[in-house]
Amino acid sequence: MNTKAKTPSSDIPADAHAQARILVQALPHMQRYDDEVVVVKYGGHAMGDEQSARDFARDIVLLEQSGVNPVVVHGGGPQIGDMLKRLKIKSEFAAGLRVTDAATVEIVEMVLAGSINKQIVGFINEAGGRAVGLTGKDGSMVLAKKLTRTFADPGSAIEKEVDLGYVGEPAKVDTTVLDQILGRELIPVLAPVAGGLEGGTFNVNADTFAGAIAGALKAKRLLLLTDVPGVLDKSKKLIKELSLSDARRLIADGTISGGMIPKVETCIEALDQGVEGVVILDGKVPHAVLLELLTDHGAGTLIQR
């Protein structure tokens, strides 16, 4: 005979009922992403303060515990800039872009693969997860080719090529290492540093790196956490969903401009490589990743085929 006393429903706090409703509402979303790969690009500005970073880590652990296979790719532009200043290494710029020389690429690798990567790994482990910190150089995961940019000379309007030094873009992605990690209760945390096709080390834009990883893994979702709500229309209102053709049209007519152009181009390329959907969202919003994946509300701009 069961002698356990039952708690009268009237004695259950209202917030407990609310928590139960939230879990029930999250169930179909959890089923949608069960055993799927979700790549999350965690940007330098989105990282915010330590508490925000710890909240992000807990969100990633919750995803893994709910059956998702998260892959974290992090940036670190502001932190690199701070370290270069501390070491009194002056940055050179060409056409508005930082030139990464031999001295700078050593600092980039030290900051990205060292302090930032291991801090995120530590926060995830402290939250109950099992994170593994890697770079694109590990297992030749990402091999990069030198990135070149052209710009129109203001005086002559002639197109000129800019040498950005040790800045690269993914040329080849090998998922062997990630295939061994995913599905084994491990969370890979990747720094966007890659080896070159002919040797050496390259600094790769974190958005581009994440897009290449997501494409190679045929991820269910690629989330680009940034410091803006998403793609905005000409009235500065959030556009919640875009098709590929919509995205290309908005770039062409100037609605998508400035720094948002390369982000959306990364989204388009990832979708072309087989990613099901890409979301640009504000990483400073508390629990933005969970809001996007596990609620009906969403948290940014979804671009899908």
pLDDT of residue 113: 93
One-character DSSP codes across the chain = ---PPPPPGGGS-HHHHHHHHHHHHHHHHHHHTTT-EEEEEE-HHHH-SHHHHHHHHHHHHHHHHTT-EEEEEE--HHHHHHHHHHTT-PPEEETTEEEB-HHHHHHHHIIIIIIIHHHHHHHHHHTT--EEEEETTGGG-EEEEEEEEEEE-TTT--EEEEEEEEEEEEEEE--HHHHHHTTTT-EEEEESEEEEBTBSEEEE-HHHHHHHHHHHHT-SEEEEEESSSS-B-TTS-B--EEEHHHHHHHHHTTSS-TTHHHHHHHHHHHHHTT-SEEEEEETTSTTHHHHHHHSSS--EEEEE-
pTM of the predicted model as reported, rounded to 2 decimal places: 0.88
Per run of 10 residues, the mean pLDDT along the chain (length 305 residues) is: 54 70 73 89 76 93 94 90 87 74 91 93 97 97 90 67 89 97 96 94 94 97 92 92 92 89 92 95 90 83 91
pLDDT of residue 281: 92
pLDDT of residue 8: 56
List the chain domain ranges: 35-304
- Write down the architecture of domain 35-304 according to CATH: 3-Layer(aba) Sandwich (3.40)
pLDDT of residue 299: 81
